[in-house]
Amino acid sequence: MSVVNPATEQILGEYQMDTASTVKTKFERAKAAQKNWKTVGLGLKKQIFTNFRQKLSTNKDQLASLLSSEMGKPISQAKGEISATLTRIDWFLTHVDQVAINNVVFETPGWSAHKPNQMQEMIQNEPLGVIANISAWNYPWFVGTNVFVPALLTGNAVLYKPSEHALLTGLAIGRLLLESGLPDDLFPVIVGGGEVGGEILKHSVNGVFFTGSVQTGQRITNSIANRWTRLQLELGGKDPAYVRSDANMEHAVGSLVEGAFYNTGQSCCSVERIYVEKSSYSRFTNAYIQNAKSLVTGSPSDPDTFVGPLARQEQIAVLEDQVKDAVSKGGKVVVGGKPTKINGKGYFFEPTVVIDCNHSMKLMKDESFGPIIGIQSVESDQQALELMNDTEYGLTSSVYTMDRTRAIDILSHLETGTAYWNTSDRVSPHLPWSGRRNSGIGVTLSLDGIRTFTQPRGWHLLSNPKV
Interface residue list for ligand NAD (CB under 6 A)? 134-138, 143, 161, 163-164, 193-194, 197-198, 211-213, 216, 219-220, 234-237, 268, 367, 369, 395, 433, 435, 439-440
Q: What is the largest CA-CA distance in the chain?
A: 87
Q: Are 176 and 158 in contact (CB under 8 A)?
A: no
CB of 284 to ligand NAD, least distance (A): 26
Whose Cβ is closer to ligand NAD: residue 54's or residue 213's? 213
Cα separation, 379 vs 446, whole angstroms: 37
Q: Give the nearer residue to ligand NAD in terms of CB position, either 197 or 308.
A: 197
Angle of CA points 382, 386, 391, to nearest 5°: 160
- Report, in Å, the least distance between residue 21 CB and ligand NAD: 18
Instruction: Tell me how far, at minimum, the Cβ of 54 lies from ligand NAD, in Å.
Output: 26
Closest contact distance (angstroms) between CB of 173 and ligand NAD is: 14
Task: Tell the smallest beta-carbon distance from residue 162 to ligand NAD (Å).
Answer: 6
For ligand NAD, the closer CB: 216 or 454: 216
Q: Helices 281-293 and 249-261 meet at what angle, rounded to 10?
A: 50
With respect to ligand NAD, which residue has the nearer C-beta, 216 or 401? 216
Q: Say if CB 253 and CB 288 are below 8 A apart.
A: yes
Q: How far is CA 423 from CA 151, 207, 394, 420, in A?
A: 30, 33, 17, 6
As a whole number of angstroms, the distance between CA 227 and CA 207 comes to 10
Find the distance separating the first CA and the last CA of the chain, reported in whole Å: 70
Specify the residue, 145 or 163, whose C-beta has the smaller distance to ligand NAD: 163
Nearer to ligand NAD, 142 or 242 (CB): 142
For residues 433 and 417, the answer to whether their CB atoms sit within 8 Å is: yes
109 burial (CB, 10 Å; 0-12 / 13-18 / 19+) is exposed
Cα gap 100→262, rounded to integer Å: 36
* Residue of minimal Cβ distance to ligand NAD: 197
Residue placing its CB nearer to ligand NAD in the complex, 80 or 198: 198
231 vs 363: CA distance, rounded Å? 30
Nearest distance in Å: CB 210, ligand NAD: 7
Write down the least CB distance from residue 422 to ligand NAD, Å: 22
